[in-house]
Amino acid sequence: MARGVLKLPEDLPVSVPRFVGKEVTRLEDPGLVTGTAEFIDNLSLAGMLHCAILRSPHPHARILRIDTSAAEAMDGVAAVLTGEDLRRWCNPAVTAPEGWGSYSMAVDKVRFVGEPVAAVAACNRYLAEDALEQIRVEYEPLPCVPDAHAATTPGASLVFEEKGSNVIQSRVYDWGEVDRMFAEADHVVSNTFRWNRVGANPTETFGCICQWDLTGNALTCHGSYQVPRFMALGRSATLRLPANRIRIIAQPMGGGFGGKGGPRGTDIAALLSRKAEGRPVKYIEDRIEYLLAGGGQSWDRHYEAALAVRADGTITGLKVKLLDDQGAGAEGYGTISAAKPLAAFTGCYRIEAARYDLTLVATNRAPTYPFRGYGPPPHYFVLESLVDMAARKLGMDPAELRRRNYIRPEQFPYVVPSGNEYDSGQYEVVLDKALALADYAKLRAEQARARAAGRLIGIGVVSTVEPGVFDWNCYATVGVPGVGVPEGVKVAVDILGNVTVAVGFNLQGQGQFTVAAQVAADYLGVDMHAVRVATAASDVALPHFGQGGSRLGVSVTGAVLGACRKLEVLFCRVVAHLMQTTPEQVELMDGRLRLKANPAVGMTLAEVAGTMLARSDLLPPDVEPCPEANYVWTAPGRTAPDEQGRCKSYLTAANATHLVMVEVDRETGQTSILGYWIVDDCGTRLNPATVDGQIEGGVAQGVGAALFEEYVYGESAQPLVTTFVDYLIPTIGEVPSSRKAVVVTPSPVSPLGAKGTGEGAIHTTPAAIMCAINDALSPLGIEVRETPASPRRLWQLLQQVA
Amino acid sequence: MTDKQRVCVTVNGRRYERWVEPRLTLVDFLRHELHLGGTHVGCEHGICGLCTVLIDGRSGRSCLTLAVQVDGAEVTTIESLRDPSTGALHPIQQAFVDAHGLQCGFCTPGFIMTTVELLRENPDPSDEEIKRALDGNLCRCTGYQSILASVRLAARRLREGREA
Ligand code: FES
Ligand code: FES
């Protein structure tokens, strides 16, 4: 008979787990290293047209006239789309909070540089771009809102006139007795911080092929879709089609990190197909389009924040005031990024009370989207910088100050003031391991010597909590309703015993197909590489979400375990019937259904599945001839939020300490990373190599955010960054080789004890580097509180004390 | 549009003759005319290195090269590496699999083609030499550590293979 909840890999029905927890090579890889994986631009359909999009050069302007006649007359052009078509056929984007969305192509006015104004479908991309040059648009420029501060000045121009204000949301969360904590504090450290816009920039931009079925009133979209069913729902709202008539087929993706974008491109390609008699239309966003106005801009934040600290170093209160530039509306769900810190507002610390004062505004910059981490990276930059400032004020070692304030192992499950419950952790063990790994005392001695010689050497020691397995309830207060995020799989055994796992998402790089195969293989006792993992189209797949919020590794594990358990129960019944015993007398072990009393007697998976499919005469009367099982997993025990946004939201709490040593060059302002050490605890590591890859990739993106990457806007909201010459993604030369060690505290609440681990490094790295730079600068009495700490920014600071 | 021009080019050992617009980039020619989709596009302005192929043995950016420029040349792409008769991966491809040198894999063909050139010229590169060779290829997923390990592993295996 079937087992209960599988808390650890050892609980799987195999003598020894052969794949789970092992560094296995990935199922995904042969197709990727040979270049044969079917990324969207490798797919073509018969009769396919190619789309190019004309974009606004103005940040804010009324559209007076669009003349498309010359473009329409060109040989090879099949359709031209303008805002008038959208006004007739579409609705503006659904947003949270409601009412801050634009149409997928500008209607009446443009709100940011790069907003689509017209589009062409032609027989090839070159010709489509030629046709764009033939379109004449007359604009009347409007006064623009260049940044967050301008958005709230009286008399500011309105990005969405009908709203009467540029403030999307303004509210204060109060958790505990914040004012008392600050009144009674021995020290208050407070400061302002600025996090400039950065973003995902996967190497593959967004792409899709859309085909409108004119007679069936239905739409099929192939594309680089991270969250297929969510995309279908959004298209249903904007394109006014019933959701069950939209079929989203997710292709493998060249990365995503939350910032893949896609709604506007999909709508435009779909409408062009509708105008072109239902011919398929391909749209492949180019890098300039992505950088201008794709899904790749996030976190444009101005902070004022303060810590209340007692003389002994106990941190008792945290206040964070955030002014967040969402750009031209909330279509990219950037608002959620501002709410996400609720899941871990006070980080690793026992801080009793906190306040979050949040103002989200619309400006004429490009709309903001999710990016890996979804909000905590800037938040932890602020929190951890304050902790370092407090340490300097108290004359304490920053590592010791942190240690003194950690949540202790016996306090778990621990409810933070902002409401979420952390499942488990050993923060001090992780810290100590990091200090030992780096030989912290020796680094400090080295630093003292280097300082004496006039060098600017700094050390950052930062610990964070990574909330894993996101839940919608965390974002309720910005207008996203719901508790629970279903992730469904089907596990099927065929007549020869082959196992297929059907999921609702496609590859994006994190290796979830491999995880699904590892778990299924160790449950059903088959070879991992014999398991096939396949993506089902959104209209027939089970409820699913896909990648996001450090959830899919855990969620897909839960779903595969659930489906395998159902199969086990079913197979035990069939075998019991065949062997004239009761299901309780039968068990699954190492891929065989066997008699508990006499393990030599049993049947293989193939024999059971074969009997079910081909010998209905032998089955129990109420058993269907179907050796398949569906299971839809969602995190257990989640709760609805109260009026202060408090709830059990993210299921798991992973933890890491990053330790980094940097040197700042006095002459150039250039920061070099001299050493990087990481100790990470994400519970059970389902595939340790994949976990390492998630950490190393997050470090690289964190290095980018801390030192190089920035979407720069001019004073009139003109983007100054439009190519990879300006947006500086770290290369192999800039990313440090880290030394790593591991602590494993299995989650008591998640399947097999695994914790979400896709975002921890990007939560931690920017804060660690910024703290290290300020440690380096501290003898000079200057500090940098704005990201990225680019050579220019640091050089300007250094000039003040030169 | 301008009149089409003739291009005669050898790609992965096969000779092709095509009439193309002079403005057609090499990467579009490879991907959309010859249906060799393994060479990817990340920026189309020469920075990311995803489109790297070998042109007469030297690595080059196929997004900044026009198809007409390779008239008479030999071009090698990722599709040439797998053993056509056995289906076995090239040792560099296998090393990327074994050392987890990829996540989404979109950048991987570019890295592998650059590595082919590197290891041909320098069978035993130091880490610094590997970094110098690969610093024109962007990867947004891996943080490069596993790529470095993959190239080291590939170099070792190729050297051992040569000795064996
Ligand atoms: S696509 Fe050629 S270098 Fe980026
Ligand atoms: S593996 Fe995704 S960009 Fe390199």
User: What secondary structure letter does DSSP report for A504?
Assistant: S
| Boundary-marking domain end, from B59, B80, B101 | B80
Nearest CA-CA partner of A306 in A402, A187, A386: A386
Complex-level ipTM: 0.97
By percentage, how much of chain B surpasses pLDDT 70? 98
The per-residue pLDDT for range A101-114, each reduced to its tens digit, is 999 999 999 999 99
State whether A466 and A491 are in the same domain.
Answer: no
Residue owning tokens 């129990």: A620
Distance from CA of B143 to the nearest CA of A (A): 4
Q: How far is the CA of B102 from the centre of ligand 1 (A)?
A: 18
Q: In chain A, which stretches have pLDDT less than 70?
A: 1-4
Atom of ligand 2 nearest to the CA of B102: 1
Does residue A311 fall inside a structural domain?
A: no
Nearest CA-CA partner of A223 in A244, A202, A254, A201: A254
State whether B104 and B155 are in the same domain.
Answer: yes
State whether B18 and B52 are in the same domain.
Answer: yes
Largest Cα separation within chain A, whole Å, is 91
Does residue A49 fall inside a structural domain?
A: yes
State whether A96 and A241 are in the same domain.
Answer: yes
A16 touches chain B (CB under 8 A): no
A732 touches chain B (CB under 8 A): yes
B105 touches chain A (CB under 8 A): yes
Does residue A698 fall inside a structural domain?
A: yes
The CB of B30 under 6 Å from ligand 1? The reply is: no
For residue A63, the cross-strand partners are A139
State whether A505 and A457 are in the same domain.
Answer: no
Note whether A203 contacts B39, CB cutoff 8 Å: no
A228's tokens: 């297929």
Does residue A749 fall inside a structural domain?
A: yes
Query: Do the beta carbons of residue B162 and residue B123 sit within 8 Å?
Result: yes
Total count of domains within chain B? 2
Model pLDDT, residue A481: 79
Note whether A697 contacts B141, CB cutoff 8 Å: yes
State whether A500 and A626 are in the same domain.
Answer: yes
Note whether A26 contacts B97, CB cutoff 8 Å: yes
State whether A670 and A604 are in the same domain.
Answer: no
State whether B73 and B105 are in the same domain.
Answer: no
Does residue B97 fall inside a structural domain?
A: yes
State whether B109 and B60 are in the same domain.
Answer: no
State whether B62 and B113 are in the same domain.
Answer: no
Model pLDDT, residue A123: 97
Note whether B105 contacts A701, CB cutoff 8 Å: no
B18 touches chain A (CB under 8 A): no
The CB of B61 under 6 Å from ligand 1? The reply is: yes
Model pLDDT, residue B163: 67
Does residue A333 fall inside a structural domain?
A: no
Write the CATH number for A104: 3.90.1170.50
| Boundary-marking domain end, from A604, A633, A662 | A633
Does residue B22 fall inside a structural domain?
A: yes
Note whether A255 contacts B104, CB cutoff 8 Å: yes
**In which region does residue B141 sit, left (phi positive, over 0), alpha (psi from -120 to 50) or beta (all else)?**
alpha
State whether A714 and A674 are in the same domain.
Answer: yes
Does residue B136 fall inside a structural domain?
A: yes
Going by CA atoms, what residue is nearest to atom 3 of ligand 2?
B139
Q: What mean pLDDT is reported for chain A?
A: 97
Does residue A719 fall inside a structural domain?
A: yes
Distance from CA of B81 to the nearest CA of A (A): 8
Does residue A515 fall inside a structural domain?
A: yes
Nearest to A732 among B104, B134, B140 (CB): B134
State whether B125 and B65 are in the same domain.
Answer: no
Note whether A32 contacts B89, CB cutoff 8 Å: no
Query: Which secondary-structure segment (H or E) carries A169?
Result: strand A167-175
State whether A433 and A541 are in the same domain.
Answer: no
Tell me the CA distances in angstroms from A216 to A88, A141, A223, A270, A579, one per residue in order: 20, 42, 21, 14, 51
Write the CATH number for B71: 3.10.20.30
- pLDDT band of residue B164 (cuts 50, 70, 90) is low
Separation of alpha carbons A91 and A101, rounded Å: 9
Residue owning tokens 């299995």: A746
Total count of domains within chain A? 3
| Boundary-marking domain end, from B80, B115, B146 | B80
Locate the chain B residue with the closest alpha carbon to A740. B145
For residue A77, the cross-strand partners are A122
Q: How far is the CA of A210 from the centre of ligand 1 (A)?
A: 26
State whether A613 and A555 are in the same domain.
Answer: yes
What residues in B contact A42, CB-CB < 8 Å? Answer: 31, 37
Locate the chain B residue with the closest alpha carbon to A291. B43
State whether A105 and A243 are in the same domain.
Answer: yes
Tell me the CA distances in angstroms from A337 to A149, A359, A741, one per residue in order: 19, 12, 30
User: What secondary structure letter does DSSP report for A706?
Assistant: I
Nearest to A35 among B39, B45, B136 (CB): B39
Note whether B105 contacts A699, CB cutoff 8 Å: no
Strands A652-664 and A786-787, by their bridges, are unpaired
Q: How far is the CA of A508 from the centre of ligand 2 (A)?
A: 9
Does residue B86 fall inside a structural domain?
A: no
A131's tokens: 């046709």
Nearest to B108 among A32, A510, A696 (CB): A32
Write the CATH number for A460: 3.30.365.10
Does residue B19 fall inside a structural domain?
A: yes
State whether A620 and A700 are in the same domain.
Answer: no
Domain enclosing residue A670, as ranges: 375-470+646-799
Tell me the CA distances in angstroms from A751 to A46, A239, A552, one per residue in order: 44, 39, 12
| Boundary-marking domain end, from B46, B80, B114 | B80
Nearest to B143 among A29, A700, A724 (CB): A700
Domain enclosing residue B131, as ranges: 91-160
State whether A517 and A623 are in the same domain.
Answer: yes
State whether A78 and A214 are in the same domain.
Answer: yes
The per-residue pLDDT for range B33-88, each reduced to its tens digit, is 999 999 999 999 999 999 999 999 999 999 999 999 999 999 999 999 999 999 99
Model pLDDT, residue A63: 98
